[in-house]
């Protein structure tokens, strides 16, 4: 999963995956307006973006977010919410922010 960028309460999402011939592919999924930037609101927005593509958080293997607590907190951030549902997903801090 590419970094989730939150600016002005708009969230855009891309996914990266390896295709059947071993090439890395990145696809833009969409932009969602979020009511607030709490981890729970961001999770709902993420699910809303994944569902039309029949994608699931259970298939996420990597997460990359900035260092804000709503995203990367070990106690209650989006990373933790996803890891509680899918222990196979790992988190890497995104230094591009």
* Domain extent for 69: 5-93
How many domains, in total, are found in the chain?
A: 1
Q: Which stretches within 1-97 are classed as H helix?
A: 39-50, 69-72, 78-85
What's the whole-model pTM score? Answer: 0.73
Mean pLDDT by 10 residues, the chain (97 residues): 52 80 91 86 90 88 81 86 92 75
């Amino acid at each position: 999963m590419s970094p989730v960028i939150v600016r002005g309460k708009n969230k855009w999402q891309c996914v990266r995956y390896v295709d059947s011939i071993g090439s890395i592919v990145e696809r833009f999924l969409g932009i969602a307006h979020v009511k607030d930037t709490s981890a729970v609101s961001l999770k709902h927005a993420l699910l809303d973006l994944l569902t039309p593509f029949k994608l699931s958080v259970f298939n996420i293997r990597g997460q990359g977010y900035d260092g804000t607590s709503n995203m990367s907190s070990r106690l209650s951030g989006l990373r933790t919410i996803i890891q509680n549902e899918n222990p196979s997903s790992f988190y890497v801090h995104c230094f591009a922010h």
